[in-house]
A = this chain, B = another copy of it.
């Protein structure tokens, strides 16, 4: 049975004064969010009377040429970038989804994952709905179309029926609406330029466009941007805030601030916490490039050990890499990660990676360092063991998680490191600098804020029911 879509994505919305052409701004906003999804890119633009849609299964600059941006006329837009597992990378699943309905033309883009989607889909099919995709986004659109009243009211009623993680941007001919789920799992932040308002998954998309950050949309809140200005509307009680801690660990861009905390600084504090939790006798500290770098710097600073560059990531590896895959496998990871022998040889090395999920890359890195002459390799993960699959938008399954199957010593042996250390949950919370109650740490401690029918969350310890 094919697995349901549950990917990490980025959303963007913009509403400007009439004379501003927003397609290039949306392009740049999506480009700033590209790290959140590389599989497909799309935008829908409104000129006040009509919506125009363009999307494709590629990076933002490949999907949008100057000619296409020229044709996407209008002063309001939403956009989306998507990461997905290979088996569900269907063009029809690209977002935004744009439809015609009793509300006229509406487009919608979504980051997150519903835990009651199977149930909703069944209900909708029974009432005569037809589905073109397997996305939660289409479910939301159908639900919305079946509510009466104004678009805004229909969206409120719809949001109240959804259980799970969602940060939505909705575009109609004359308005832009943003919605965040009652737990606030996924980020959504509002900013302002002189000529209009912007919604985005991360603040980096605002600052890259020269916009000022106003504030994050609150859990259970909706923001409506239209000709008259901005209005906020609360559609649900805030349950408990449960913001994804893994955004700090891996997803977000270092120059973004999330709930007031700068991501790069959090990562440096994580590195310092790692040292304080587990000091080690070593010669140098290096990072698994590039995502381990800030934690490695924080570790080096706290410990007084020198920070070094021991591994270079080949900057031409990427989407364009095809070629001799068998040869590549045989020659191993060193085509992608280039060790600097002059740095590594005969050294006792602390290497810091952002996280250890499946463990296979870590094992390759340790072997590469040892082959290059490292005397000792002490592997540190900049987060706790990832033991529980996520139901709120990160595509993970239990069988892939090395920490769900093995204990610390077993993993250390699999990886081949002399030492293996993970950060504690408390250490992570401390480094983030927010009260534990505002965070979702389910992937680390199994404490699912919301229980659905999707996966292991139903067996979560101490879990609270969502509805």
Binding site for B on A (CB under 8 A): 23-25, 27-28, 31-32, 34-35, 59-62, 64-66, 69, 98-102, 125-132, 134, 141-142, 145-146, 204, 207-210, 253-255, 257, 262, 264-265, 290, 293-294, 297, 301, 306-309, 312, 314-316, 319-328, 331, 334-335, 338-343
Do the beta carbons of B309 and A293 come within 8 Å of each other?
Answer: yes
Q: Is the CB of A31 within 8 A of B316?
A: yes
Identify the 10 closest CB pairs spanning chains A and B, nearest first: A24-B324, A262-B342, A128-B146, A24-B327, A99-B130, A100-B131, A102-B125, A101-B130, A255-B340, A130-B145
Residues of B within 8 A of A34 (CB): 316
Inter-chain contact B323/A69, CB cutoff 8 Å: yes
Complex-state Cα separation, A293 to B293, whole angstroms: 12
A264 near B130 with CB under 8 A, answer: no
Bound CA–CA A209/B328 (angstroms): 10
**What are 13 residue pairs bridging A and B, where the CB atoms are less than 8 Å apart in the complex?**
A25-B327, A28-B323, A32-B338, A34-B316, A69-B323, A99-B131, A101-B130, A128-B146, A129-B145, A130-B142, A208-B338, A297-B307, A301-B306
When C-beta atoms are compared, the residue in chain B nearest to A300 turns out to be B307
User: When A331-B28, A340-B254 are in contact, do A61 and B312 touch as well, CB less than 8 Å?
Assistant: no
A129, B138: Cα distance in complex, Å: 12
Given known pairs A316-B59, A342-B262, the reply for A208 and B128 (CB within 8 Å) is no
A208 vs B338: C-alpha distance when bound (angstroms): 8
Known contacts A207-B341, A208-B331, A320-B59; is A312 also within 8 Å of B253 by CB?
yes
Distance in Å: Cβ of A73 to nearest Cβ of chain B:
14
Does the CB pair A338–B255 fall under 8 Å? yes
Q: In the complex, A98 Cα to B92 Cα: how many Å?
A: 11
**Alpha-carbon separation in the docked complex, A34 to B32 (Å):** 26
Tell me if A141 and B145 are in contact (CB < 8 A).
no
Which of A24, A126, A308 counts the most chain B CB atoms within 10 A? Answer: A24
Chain B residues, CB < 8 A from A327? 24-25, 27-28
Bound form: Cα–Cα A307–B255 in Å:
17
Closest B residue to A267 by CB, please name it.
Answer: B309
A334, B264: Cβ atoms under 8 Å?
no
- Docked Cα-Cα span, A36 to B283, in Å, equals 33
Q: Is there contact, CB below 8 Å, between B312 and A255?
A: yes
Contact between chains at B101 and A320 (CB < 8 Å): no
Please determine whether B131 and A128 come into contact, CB atoms closer than 8 angstroms.
no
Q: What residue of chain B has the Cβ atom nearest to residue A344's Cβ?
A: B255
* A310 to B323 CA separation, bound complex (whole angstroms): 35
Q: How far is the CA of A99 from the CA of B265 in the complex (A)?
A: 47
State the CA gap A323–B28 with chains docked (Å). 9
Closest CB-CB distance, A249 to chain B, in whole Å?
17
User: Contacting A28 at CB < 8 Å: which of B28, B319, B328?
Assistant: B328
Q: Which residue of B lies closest to A126 (CB)?
A: B102
Tell me the bound Cα distance from A308 to B262 in angstroms.
14
- A338 touches which one: B253, B307, B308 (CB < 8 A)? B253
